[in-house]
Amino acid sequence: MRLLLKGWYPMPALEFIRSRLDPEWEIRLCDREQVPASLEESEVFARELGEAHSFVSMSWSAAMPGAPELLLLQLPGAGVNQIDFDAVPPQCSVCNVFEHEIGIAEYLVLAILEWEIGLRHMDASLREGVWSDGFALGRPLHGELHGKSVGFIGYGRISRETARRLRPFGVRLRACTRSPEKGDEFVDVIADMDGLDAMLADCDYVVVACPLTDETRGLVDADALARLQPSAVIVNVARGEIIDEQALYEACHRRQIGGAVIDTWYRYPTAGDPDTERCLPSRYPFQSLDNVIMTPHASGWSGGLLERRWRVMIDNFNRLSRGEPLLNVVHAPG
Amino acid sequence: MRLLLKGWYPMPALEFIRSRLDPEWEIRLCDREQVPASLEESEVFARELGEAHSFVSMSWSAAMPGAPELLLLQLPGAGVNQIDFDAVPPQCSVCNVFEHEIGIAEYLVLAILEWEIGLRHMDASLREGVWSDGFALGRPLHGELHGKSVGFIGYGRISRETARRLRPFGVRLRACTRSPEKGDEFVDVIADMDGLDAMLADCDYVVVACPLTDETRGLVDADALARLQPSAVIVNVARGEIIDEQALYEACHRRQIGGAVIDTWYRYPTAGDPDTERCLPSRYPFQSLDNVIMTPHASGWSGGLLERRWRVMIDNFNRLSRGEPLLNVVHAPG
């Protein structure tokens, strides 16, 4: 059976993949030197995809070449928003992987604690010999997470792993989700999406951690932001488009809310030279705001992620060749 | 009964204290306008202390004026290293307060996560449009706390509250303490101080959280630092003098260890004007090192601290006037 890999992503893991794949698998590579920027226009790619039984990609469109043998479109990440399911060949399953919930949960606890405590500012001051945040001089105290409240929009793996870690800090935890029956011992209050307005008004931190769908695109708009407390912080580790770009900028800039922690954005760099290309992540100047923590879609991009993901994907390829049930099926054949 | 308060520290809490003290208490104040920099030389202070039944102070020496009525020397913090117990009047109890373990535990989790993830660096880069930490470009991944190990020197309130919060991150936790029988469900391995060398060699993070005593002064010296792994990080939230100043600087500067998170220092500002006085916290230029996170003895200096501490202290004053047992007695009369 033939496994088709493309781009830079699988390269560092190639030996790891080879050593764990069952022997009936053959790996085929389409790297950037072989194919033009647009895969859809590449003859090499069309030939390889035509023979592949499994293909690793975050995207699929109606413009893809024919894939009569394809049985498994394996996403190397979680988000299915670049998959046109109607265009997937009828015999093909689509599966995704997670494993980023550990890294994202760590990022979220870090970002919330940093918002309260301000290590960054203290470090910069003390390097100049300024002790104004220290105990000795009777200055204002930094914040405490203890006693605060955190609400999650969406209560999937990311929110659950975050709630598990936040629990011992003595915070109140609530969530709104399409599936409120998924509540657990970590979250105090869980409601369906009709409870969103009440949750927004109640929380010190609101974490956006739901999939981007037609229902969630623009879900956090100017009206939703207006419901937040004046000191509340909105945190986005899902997809930029779930929060209205202009409304978010205005709410931060006008200090209508406490601020924002933003990891997922509105503009991304193209596949140009990463050493020289610069790309501000929004058409609004978030970089000029001091009540924003901004990171480059890196929250889940942590040390153990890729190995964990490849282990799941390799398991899936071997399950396919052994005729066993696949993991994380988001779209079944037919 | 007379409660003597001095300095700036109690002033913001004065109404809070008044409203909760039993009516037999009278508050006397010695603020900076009434007495010179040296309390011991002040006649006003000598008269007030001579009549006080309780006095709130972090320090006591043989140079203190007579205190024939004093029954309770109440420390407003935990550290007893500025108390000359031999000079305390024989009828007087000495009590301390904690309550900083919540703030310090939050600081410790923050500092360790920041070391792994580097929010500060990512934020600064993205403000310039640089995405080099982001997922999109195949760059190095940031660290993960998951799977790491943290060791505590000392396993008192601070270490316990930190271990409780670190537990769900999937870290291995160990501790060395004079009282290894104090192990709990949060720590995996607990040993007496003879186990220190083994712990130092085993941990990704070593947190110094023991009292400063004759035994712990200079405990973490060049030999101890040499036992750490090359990537290990030493964290001090206890007292500067527990880690040898020169050895710590050299270990960081020469990158013999991964680095340090330092909240407690070797040089402190005097009581000069906080808006103008600058004081670098060591005779070595830690501020020039990029493998150090430095904060101004602020780890426990968090929002809820003072109210929690005053509640305990006020409880103690009322216990004294009611003849009830005192809380947190570190030195009994006689």
Q: How far is CA B49 from CA A316, B15, B65, B195, B320, in A?
A: 77, 22, 7, 46, 17
Residues of chain A found within 8 Å of residue B272, distances taken between Cβ atoms: none
Name the DSSP class of A99: -
CB neighbours of residue A91 within 10 Å: 12
CB contact under 8 A, B301 and A141: yes
Does any CB of chain A come closer than 8 Å to the CB of residue B90? no
* Cβ-contact A186, A164 below 8 angstroms: yes
Contacts of A15 (CB under 8 A, 6+ apart): none
* Cβ-contact A315, A72 below 8 angstroms: no
Q: Nearest-CA residue of chain B relative to A186?
A: B168
DSSP string, A176-233: E-S-GGG--SS-SEEE-GGGHHHHHHH-SEEEE-S---TTTTT-B-HHHHHHS-TT-E
Alpha helices in B85-206 (DSSP H): 101-117, 119-126, 157-166, 196-202
Distance CA A330, CA A321 (A): 19
Q: How far is CA B240 from CA A288, A309, A319, in A?
A: 37, 43, 56
Selected for mutation to probe chain B from A100, A116, A137, A273 (highest B CB count within 10 Å) is: A137
Instruction: Report residue A312 as tokens.
Output: 């799941």
Residue type for position B181: E
Q: What is the pLDDT, as a whole number, of residue A277?
A: 75
Task: Closest CB to A301: pick one of B123, B141, B300.
Answer: B141
| pLDDT tens, residue by residue, B158-198 | 999 999 999 999 999 999 999 999 889 999 999 999 999 99
Distance CA B128, CA B229 (A): 35
Does any CB of chain B come closer than 8 Å to the CB of residue A76? no
Task: Closest CB to A138: pick one of B8, B278, B300.
Answer: B8
Residues of chain B found within 8 Å of residue A109, distances taken between Cβ atoms: 109, 113
Q: What is the pLDDT, as a whole number, of residue A12?
A: 83
Distance CA A278, CA A272 (A): 10
Q: What is the pLDDT, as a whole number, of residue B226?
A: 98
Instruction: Report residue B93 as tokens.
Output: 């109890």
ipTM score for this prediction: 0.86
Task: Closest CB to B117: pick one of A106, A275, A297.
Answer: A106
Q: What is the pLDDT, as a whole number, of residue A201?
A: 97
> What is the mean pLDDT of each successive set of 10 residues along chain A, which is 334 residues long?
90 92 95 68 90 96 95 94 95 96 97 96 93 65 94 97 98 96 94 97 97 95 98 97 98 98 93 73 97 95 89 97 97 93
Residue A99 φ then ψ, to 5° = 75, -10
Look at phi and psi of residue A121 and say left if phi exceeds 0, alpha if psi is from -120 to 50, else beta. alpha
Q: What is the strand order of the sheet A329-331 is part of?
A: A26-30, A2-6, A54-56, A72-74, A93-95, A329-331
pLDDT-derived band at B7 (thresholds 50, 70, 90) equals confident
Domains and CATH numbers, chain A: 2-99+303-331 (3.40.50.720), 101-294 (3.40.50.720)
CB contact under 8 A, B146 and A304: yes
| pLDDT tens, residue by residue, B74-103 | 999 988 989 999 999 999 999 999 999 999
Distance CA B218, CA A222 (A): 57
| pLDDT tens, residue by residue, B210-256 | 999 999 999 999 999 999 999 999 999 999 999 999 999 999 999 99
Does any CB of chain B come closer than 8 Å to the CB of residue A111? yes
Distance from CA of B210 to the nearest CA of A (A): 19
Task: Closest CB to A168: pick one of B129, B167, B296.
Answer: B167
Distance CA B264, CA A64 (A): 60
* Cβ-contact B167, B186 below 8 angstroms: yes
Distance CA B92, CA B54 (A): 9
Q: How far is CA B159 from CA B113, B165, B182, B307, in A?
A: 16, 10, 11, 22
Mean pLDDT taken over chain B: 93
Does any CB of chain A come closer than 8 Å to the CB of residue B140? no
Q: Within the 189-228 window of chain B, which residues sit less than 8 Å (CB to CB) from chain A?
A: none
In Å, the largest CA–CA distance within chain B is 73
3-class SS at A28? Answer: strand
Residues of chain A found within 8 Å of residue B78, distances taken between Cβ atoms: none
Distance from CA of A101 to the nearest CA of B (A): 11
Q: What is the pLDDT, as a whole number, of residue A86?
A: 96
CB contact under 8 A, A131 and B296: yes
Selected for mutation to probe chain B from A108, A125, A141, A262 (highest B CB count within 10 Å) is: A141
* Cβ-contact B126, A258 below 8 angstroms: no
**Confidence check: pLDDT of B35 > 80:** no
Q: Nearest-CA residue of chain B relative to A8?
A: B138
Name the DSSP class of A267: -
Q: What is the strand order of the sheet B189-191 is part of?
A: B189-191, B172-176, B149-153, B205-208, B233-236, B259-262, B292-294
Q: What is the pLDDT, as a whole number, of residue A33?
A: 65
Identify the bridge partners of residue A10 per DSSP, sorted by sequence position: none
Does any CB of chain A come closer than 8 Å to the CB of residue B168? yes
**Confidence check: pLDDT of B278 > 90:** no
CA atoms within 13 A on the CB side of B307: 7
Q: How far is CA B76 from CA A114, A313, B73, B100, in A?
A: 27, 57, 10, 11
| pLDDT tens, residue by residue, B106-141 | 999 999 999 999 999 999 999 999 887 666 555 668
* Cβ-contact A112, A171 below 8 angstroms: no
pLDDT-derived band at B10 (thresholds 50, 70, 90) equals confident
Please give the radius of gyration of chain B, using alpha carbons only, rounded to the nearest integer.
22
Q: What is the pLDDT, as a whole number, of residue B274?
A: 60
Distance CA A38, CA A42 (A): 7
Does any CB of chain B come closer than 8 Å to the CB of residue A122? yes
Residues of chain B found within 8 Å of residue A120, distances taken between Cβ atoms: 119-120, 123
Distance CA A278, CA B63 (A): 64
Q: What is the pLDDT, as a whole number, of residue B38?
A: 73
Q: What sign for the dihedral angle of Cα A290, A296, A301, A303?
A: negative
pLDDT-derived band at B8 (thresholds 50, 70, 90) equals confident
Contacts of B100 (CB under 8 A, 6+ apart): B77, B78, B158, B299, B300, B301, B302, B305, B309
Q: Nearest-CA residue of chain A relative to B117?
A: A107
Q: What is the pLDDT, as a whole number, of residue B270?
A: 79
The C-alpha torsion from B142 through B143 and B145 to B147, rounded to 10°, is: 130
CB contact under 8 A, B168 and A168: yes
CB contact under 8 A, A279 and B129: yes
Residue type for position B112: I
Q: What sign for the dihedral angle of Cα B158, B162, B164, B165?
A: positive
* Percent of chain B whose pLDDT exceeds 90: 82
3-class SS at B161? Answer: helix
Q: What is the pLDDT, as a whole number, of residue B139?
A: 61
Quick one: which of B107, B64, B56, B69 has its CA closest to B85? B64
Q: Nearest-CA residue of chain B relative to A281?
A: B129
Distance CA A45, CA A66 (A): 10
